[in-house]
A and B are shown apart, each in its own frame.
Chain A
Amino acid sequence: MVAEALFFSAVLFTIGVIGVLTRRNAIIIFMAVELMLNAVNLSFVALSRLYGVTGQVYVIFVMAVAAAEAAVGLAIIISIFRHHETVDLQNINLLKG
């Protein structure tokens, strides 16, 4: 059961990485990051069956940080949208050399 959960976690993390690398919509990239956080949470929960309940405590912290990150990140996306009228990262290249 633990090994399978770790396998699912690795695959979900990989899918999240692929999402971050292949998409250009900032909101979808954000959602892919959330997927990666979820994959790590699954690892924590699976390993908490082997190493004690501490893993679940860490999952609570990861969820709190994810909520904070989603709030701030989406606010940043909204203010970027006000300036550029787009959330396509290809058009947001102010810092590009």
Chain B
Amino acid sequence: MMHHGLFFQFNFYVFGLIAIASALAFVTRKSPVAAALWLVTTMFCLAVLYVMLDAQFIGAVQVLLYAGAIMVVFLFVVMLLNLGHVPGSGDIKRLWPRLLAGTAGILLLAELSVLGRQALPMEQLIVPAAQSNVVTAVASPLFNEYLLAFEVTSVLLLAAIIGAVVLAKRRV
């Protein structure tokens, strides 16, 4: 893959900007269904960015897990609770929370500009592994160094499944 070609860089910018634009659309839509679909667009664009950053496995997992599973659960709950119809005014908050949000946004952007003045250690840019063992590169530390964390994650998922079933049940 050509990593510093103009075309590559252009595509990177295009998908990043699409991700940001659809995130903005997600925040401003009144209908939860429309918001969820815009968020799916953001997640697909993020998957493209992952692939372009040489994390092909993460990109695939992003599509399968976020766009394919988590967002479907969100849409399912919207449908289950019958929230698709929005009353005229929508649910965007009043003045004070907006001011708070604006202040938080300005603070985060200020932090961004401060961080932007420091240079990244580009000289230690790691040459990507051969394209054939993309999954091995992730799996090897996952099942050696982080084996305990991996097993704990499976316990966490089991607890979450049981908790979700118990919470959503009508009579325990």
Contact = CB atoms under 8 A, between A and B. Distances in A.
B54 to A, nearest CB: 6
Interface in B45-79: 46, 49-50, 52-55, 57-58, 61-62, 65-66, 69-70, 73-74, 77-78
Task: Tell me if B's interface is mostly helix, strand, loop or mixed.
Answer: helix
Contact of B46 (A25, A32, A41, A49): A41
B81 A14 contact: no
Interface string A74-97: 111111011000011000000000
B16 A4 contact: yes
Task: Tell me if A's interface is mostly helix, strand, loop or mixed.
Answer: helix
A22 B93 CA distance: 5
A14 B62 CA distance: 20
Interface residues of A, number: 67
Interface range, B side: 35 or more
Contacts of A77: 77, 81
B168 interface: yes
Given A21-B100, A57-B142, A87-B81, A67 B65 contact: yes
B118 to A, nearest CB: 10
A80 B91 CA distance: 18
A69 B115 CA distance: 30
Interface string B118-159: 001110111010000000011001100110010001001101
A8 to B, nearest CB: 4
Contact of A56 (B49, B58, B108): B58
**Lowest 9 A-B CB distances belong to which pairs?**
A68-B160, A75-B167, A21-B101, A75-B164, A8-B16, A71-B164, A75-B168, A24-B91, A19-B27
Interface of B: 3-4, 9, 12-13, 16, 19-20, 23-24, 26-27, 32, 35-36, 39, 42-43, 46, 49-50, 52-55, 57-58, 61-62, 65-66, 69-70, 73-74, 77-78, 80-81, 83, 91-93, 97-98, 100-101, 104-105, 108-109, 111-112, 115-116, 120-122, 124-126, 128, 137-138, 141-142, 145-146, 149, 153, 156-157, 159-161, 163-165, 167-168, 170
